[in-house]
Amino acid sequence: MAGPRTGAVDCAGAEVRAHYRHRATVVTIRGEIDAVNVDQISERVRHFVLGDTPVVLDLSAVTHFSSAGIGLLCVLDEECRGADVAWMIVVSPVVSTLLGEPDEAAFPVTTSVHEALRNLADAVAWRRQLVLPLVKKSA
């Protein structure tokens, strides 16, 4: 159920909220992610993979992240790959403990929303640079 002022949805101990920010959808989760609520959270998060808009999954306010939370990341990774959408995870200390160091993580990880948005913008610019010469050749 959405909160009266926040637009957040309660998922059995976790609050999920999304907003569009600087060419990306930022999905923020606060609270606990565990076996009790991971399916509900995963279903909610999947709704925000839209078109070609990059996704930032902000877990910086997650206070408990059980191994079941890896399922959420797998679902989002699969959804984004299927839609050819770039995405990143902003980790909290409890999430990074389970995922490991950013350069060792199996998923695209960073430590702030600002950094994630910058990295995604750089990736989009890089893709455009690769595609532009191909478009010019075919014209």
Domains of the chain listed by start with CATH number: 8-131 (3.30.750.24)
Q: Per residue in 77-134, pLDDT tens?
A: 999 999 999 999 999 999 999 887 777 788 999 999 999 999 988 876 666 666 555 5
- 77 CB-side CA count, 13 A: 12
Asked if residue 137 has pLDDT above 90, the reply is no
Asked if residue 16 has pLDDT above 90, the reply is yes
Q: Which H or E run contains 125?
A: helix 113-138
Q: Per residue in 57-83, pLDDT tens?
A: 999 999 999 999 999 999 999 999 999
17 confidence band (pLDDT: 50, 70, 90): very high
The DSSP line for 43-90 is HHHHTT--TT--EEEEEEEEEEE-TTHHHHHHHHHHHHHHHT--EEEE
Residue 116: its pLDDT value, please? Answer: 94
Residue 2: its pLDDT value, please? Answer: 46
Asked if residue 4 has pLDDT above 60, the reply is no
